[in-house]
Amino acid sequence: MNDYLAGLTTEAINPDTLMIDECTTEQMVQIMNQQDALVPAAVAKEVPHIAKAVDILHQSLANGGKMFYIGAGTSGRLGVLDASECPPTFGTDPSLVQGFIAGGDTALRNAVEGCEDNLEEGIALINEIGVTSKDVVIGISASGSARFVIGALTRARELGAKTIAVCNNKGSKLEPIVDVAIAPVVGPEVISGSTRLKAGTAQKLVLNMLTTCTMVKLGKTYNNLMVDLKASNIKLVDRSVRIIMRATGVDSTTASDTLTKASMNCKLAIMMIKTGLDAQEAEQQLAQHNGRLKEAIHAIMSS
């Protein structure tokens, strides 16, 4: 028996769910809901570490770096999910935030046993994807012991990249090899060792914070509006129109017409309406302010 694994909170038996197999359906659901309610408080305790990680990410991405999620199993899938949502949400290049899972893309749909134990594959992945000293690598592992993740983080650090860990146990094997360790301890799972439950939920909350707060700091929003979204389908075109209306106070026709003139660029349309500039002039001003809409508008209005 592995003493490290045996001592993990995520491997412990939950005394509050011992007799779950004798519960009614409603009782089971209530138990799970009660256990899930513990997760936000565990994440809240990690806010200082999460904030430190966001500042690292912001500094790196603002200076030409990239963000890489590396994980195995559920942890890896959550990283890939969070990364894949950044382009449609914030209009980022797909290469800016990337997610990788032990076992490759096949492991997104099917369990690929043993891959998380392969230290060398983690090292090889970092070399393959071209991590540099400008970048940030975030290792995700509920246990904090996945050798694939340890190998990736170790190699990333050797290359001078910043490293962050997201796990669900204190004193994990990841802590000594990262700049920041984020470890929301959610307690034993409803079903012993099933870390796709509370641990996975906590990880999802943390990853949401990392990308969302970083993108806000990079100027990807205007107030709390998703102004850099890609209007790539009917729903997102409609959302873009509503965002333009909310940000500028114009009617739907004006918002829609300006969005078309702005080549379906929501942020550019708002800039045009707010400043009276045409598309080319507005685009130039945005570029001068690194895409920061509020900053660009203030500069024009105060000149």
pLDDT of 4 reads 74
User: Sign (positive/negative) of CA torsion 167, 169, 175, 176?
Assistant: negative
Which residues, in sequence order, are bridge partners of residue 98?
68
Q: Which residue in this structure is represented by tokens 């045009």?
A: 272
Residue 175 designated active-site: no
Q: One of 46, 116, 121, 283 is an active-site residue; which one?
A: 116
Domains and CATH numbers, the chain: 6-217 (3.40.50.10490), 234-301 (1.10.8.1080)
- Helices 234-248, 252-261: inter-axial angle, 10-degree rounding: 110
User: Sign (positive/negative) of CA torsion 128, 133, 134, 138?
Assistant: positive
Q: Which of 206, 176, 207, 170 is nearest to 10 (CA)?
A: 170
Instruction: Please give the Cα distance from 254 to 276 (Å, whole number).
Output: 13
Residue 116 designated active-site: yes
Instruction: Please give the Cα distance from 109 to 140 (Å, whole number).
Output: 18
Q: pLDDT tens digits for 241-300?
A: 999 999 999 999 999 999 999 999 999 999 999 999 999 999 999 999 999 999 999 999
Task: Record the tokens describing residue 93, joined without a space.
Answer: 């290049």
The answer for residues whose C-beta is within 8 angstroms of residue 116's C-beta and 6 or more apart is 72, 73, 102, 141, 146, 147, 148, 149
Instruction: Please give the Cα distance from 119 to 59 (Å, whole number).
Output: 29
Instruction: Please give the Cα distance from 16 to 19 (Å, whole number).
Output: 8
Count how many Cα atoms sit within 13 Å of the Cα of residue 262 in the half-sphere of its side chain.
31
Task: Record the tokens describing residue 42, joined without a space.
Answer: 């565990």
How many helices and strands in the chain, by DSSP H and E?
14, 5
What is the mean pLDDT of each successive set of 10 residues along the chain, which is 303 residues long? 74 93 97 97 98 98 98 96 95 96 90 86 97 98 95 98 97 96 97 95 98 97 92 90 97 96 95 96 95 94 84
Other CB atoms within 10 Å distance of the CB of residue 108 = 14
- DSSP alpha helices (H): ranges in 115-233? 119-129, 147-158, 198-217
pLDDT of 3 reads 66
Cut 0.95: pTM above it: no
Q: Which of 162, 69, 169, 82 is nearest to 122 (CA)?
A: 69
Main-chain dihedrals φ then ψ at residue 225, nearest 5 degrees = -95, 140
